[in-house]
């Protein structure tokens, strides 16, 4: 941005200071607009200039900034929040201050900040807290009710049945807490440093604990051997957790007599782990949301199978943390295929 015309006759040092000031304001994350006592804009930094173009929403922003500066020139502080839709919704906070003498300002400055992401995160946090409160109240309420029912109960069969329910609800509560801790840790950047990991080892460890579960439900667990030469740079514990969540869901949402297949392969520069089931499938309208915390397509079935509603959120965060993604292909009544894709590497673990 060139020096304002009103300052064009300044000496060399003043011109240098002005140029440095303009460059410094361009580095700021906030939009900065400065005007003189007549309302003439003397400086508009780069973030503020981005708000002025042909789009209607940005023209509204420019008018709001101009109005805020006008109020500041009367000697008063002004603050407002502006919601714009151009083409997507974003929110601006505008704060304007008078500059110079208290009685007669010599100018004014407006600070403009895009708080859209902050507002989105606040909404996510509110939803998360509300959902978490609801999810924790369910097992806690059940435990309280079961304890009251057990109090004074003398029939051994009833006591045994209620005690089993207490154990199931306590296990469910524990799983929610464990999944929350895992999700929090992964969102914070995982545990430890990333290192070369053989994907075959991830697959073997992830499916090892599910053979008995699958057999007890009458489901065949089919595991395809994975090439020992397929490696990724990652956190083995988190990758195992992600794949285990996919296998667990596939078994829980499959009917007796069905098969769940697990395997992997290299596709171009991606190492892929996939889980295919013959379960109930996922409606198309829900496929974009199933990776959200606590989102369930079938809440009744999820609770009856002990699901926490956090498994797929963990998978998504593990994928993102490793520079990859997770996809789903599903047809109602036929089944689903989840694919975890991570950048592949040719590096192997050191021998020793």
Gap between the Cα atoms of 137 and 71, Å rounded: 50
Residue of 247, 242, 248, 253 whose CA lies nearest to 342: 242
Gap between the Cα atoms of 319 and 273, Å rounded: 11
Gap between the Cα atoms of 272 and 313, Å rounded: 18
Position with higher pLDDT, 4 vs 269: 269
As a 3-state breakdown, the chain gives helix, strand, coil percent values, each rounded to 5, of 45, 25, 30
- Residue in the structure block whose two tokens are 């906070």: 93
Task: Specify the 3-state DSSP secondary structure of 130.
Answer: helix
Residue 337 sits at φ, ψ, to 5 deg, of: -130, 120
pLDDT reported for residue 8: 47
Annotate 190-206 with DSSP letters as a single string: -SS--EEEEHHHHHHHH
> Distance between the two ends of the chain, CA-based, in angstroms?
60
Helix count and strand count (H, E) for the chain = 10, 12
DSSP element (H, E) containing 313: helix 311-321
Buried b (16+ CB within 10 A) or exposed e, 273-297: bbbbbbbbbbeeeebeebbbbbbbb
Gap between the Cα atoms of 250 and 262, Å rounded: 10
**CATH architecture, domain 117-188:** Orthogonal Bundle (1.10)
pLDDT one-digit tens code per residue, 21-52: 778 888 888 899 999 998 898 888 888 887 76
**CATH architecture, domain 193-352:** 2-Layer Sandwich (3.30)
Partner residues linked to 92 by β-bridges: 82, 114
Gap between the Cα atoms of 320 and 314, Å rounded: 10
- Is pTM, for the whole model, over 0.85? no
Partner residues linked to 272 by β-bridges: 265, 341
Among 97-106, 266-275, 318-327, the range scoring the smallest mean pLDDT is: 97-106
Gap between the Cα atoms of 32 and 42, Å rounded: 11
Gap between the Cα atoms of 179 and 176, Å rounded: 5
Among 119-128, 153-162, 249-258, the range scoring the smallest mean pLDDT is: 119-128
**CATH architecture, domain 5-114:** 2-Layer Sandwich (3.30)
Name the residue ranges covered by the structural domains of the chain: 5-114, 117-188, 193-352
Among 16-30, 65-79, 234-248, 302-316, the range scoring the smallest mean pLDDT is: 302-316
DSSP 80: E
Q: Residue 184 corresponds to which tokens in the numbers above?
A: 């929090």
């Amino acid at each position: 941005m060139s020096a304002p015309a009103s300052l064009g006759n300044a000496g060399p040092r003043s011109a240098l200071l002005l140029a440095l000031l303009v460059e410094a304001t361009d580095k700021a994350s906030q939009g900065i607009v400065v005007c003189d006592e007549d309302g003439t804009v003397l400086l508009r930094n780069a973030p503020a200039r981005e708000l002025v173009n042909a789009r209607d929403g940005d023209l509204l922003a420019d008018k709001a900034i101009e109005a805020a500066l006008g109020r500041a020139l009367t000697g008063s502080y002004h603050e407002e929040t502006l919601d714009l839709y151009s083409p997507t919704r974003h929110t601006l906070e505008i704060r304007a201050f008078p500059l110079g003498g208290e009685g007669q300002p010599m100018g004014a400055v407006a600070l403009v900040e895009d708080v859209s992401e902050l507002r989105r995160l606040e909404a996510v946090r509110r939803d998360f807290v509300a959902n978490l409160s609801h999810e924790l109240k369910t097992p806690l309420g059940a435990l309280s009710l079961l304890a009251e029912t057990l109090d004074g109960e003398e029939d051994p069969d009833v006591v045994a049945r209620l005690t089993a329910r207490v154990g199931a609800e306590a296990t469910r509560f524990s799983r929610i807490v464990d999944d929350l801790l895992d999700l929090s840790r992964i969102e914070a950047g995982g545990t430890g440093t990333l290192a070369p990991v053989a994907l075959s080892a991830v697959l073997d460890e992830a499916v090892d604990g599910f053979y008995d579960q699958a057999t007890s439900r009458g489901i065949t667990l089919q595991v395809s051997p994975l090439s020992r030469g397929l490696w990724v740079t990652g956190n083995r514990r988190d990758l195992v957790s992600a794949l285990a969540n996919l296998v667990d869901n596939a078994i829980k949402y499959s009917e007796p007599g069905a098969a769940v297949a697990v395997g992997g392969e290299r596709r171009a520069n991606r190492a892929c782990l996939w889980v295919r089931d013959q379960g109930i499938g996922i409606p198309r309208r829900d496929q974009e949301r199933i990776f959200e915390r606590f989102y369930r397509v079938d809440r009744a079935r999820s609770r009856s199978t002990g699901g926490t509603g956090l498994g797929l959120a963990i998978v998504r965060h593990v994928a993102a943390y490793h520079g990859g993604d997770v996809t789903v292909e599903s047809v109602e009544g036929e089944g689903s295929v989840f694919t975890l894709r991570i950048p592949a590497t040719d590096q192997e673990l050191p021998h020793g």
